Amino acid sequence: MELVNIEGTPKTPTVILNPETGVIEIKGRSIPENSIEFYRPIVEWLDEYIKNPKPNTVVNVQLEYFNTSSSKCILDVFKKLEQLKKNQHDVIINWYYEEDDEDMLEAGEDYESIIKVPFKMIQIVD
């Protein structure tokens, strides 16, 4: 498996998928023209990763903003992680949010209520 490093743009997040460390990072803004197209390689990478994962997988999500179509794709990513958890692997999702960003905190809590993977809400203090 290869390391995936997608450089962020004003409309798409930086994404790092590291099979060596089991660390997955999604950071920035997610308002791509075509969310399904943007997130497809991430979901496909996770399909491969699930076959031979690290004992611990850590997912760091630090989004400033995401649109509705991205939220569905992010949920698809989390569902893959839920599969990993069902297979008895440790998975933790660190959900970062700015201290004054109630919407982003709520979004993380919403995902946490849907997905059976532990979330850790981490407030970013400026």
> What pLDDT digit, counting tens, does each position of 83-96 carry?
999 999 999 999 99
pLDDT of 126 above 90: no
pLDDT of 29 above 90: yes
pLDDT of 114 above 90: yes
Q: Domains of the chain (ranges plus CATH)? A: 4-124 (3.30.750.24)
> What pLDDT digit, counting tens, does each position of 53-110 carry?
999 999 999 999 999 999 999 999 999 999 999 999 999 999 999 999 999 999 999 9
String of DSSP letters for 10-78: SSS-EEEEETTTTEEEEEEEE--S-HHHHHHHHHHHHHHHHHS--SEEEEEEEEEEE-HHHHHHHHHHH
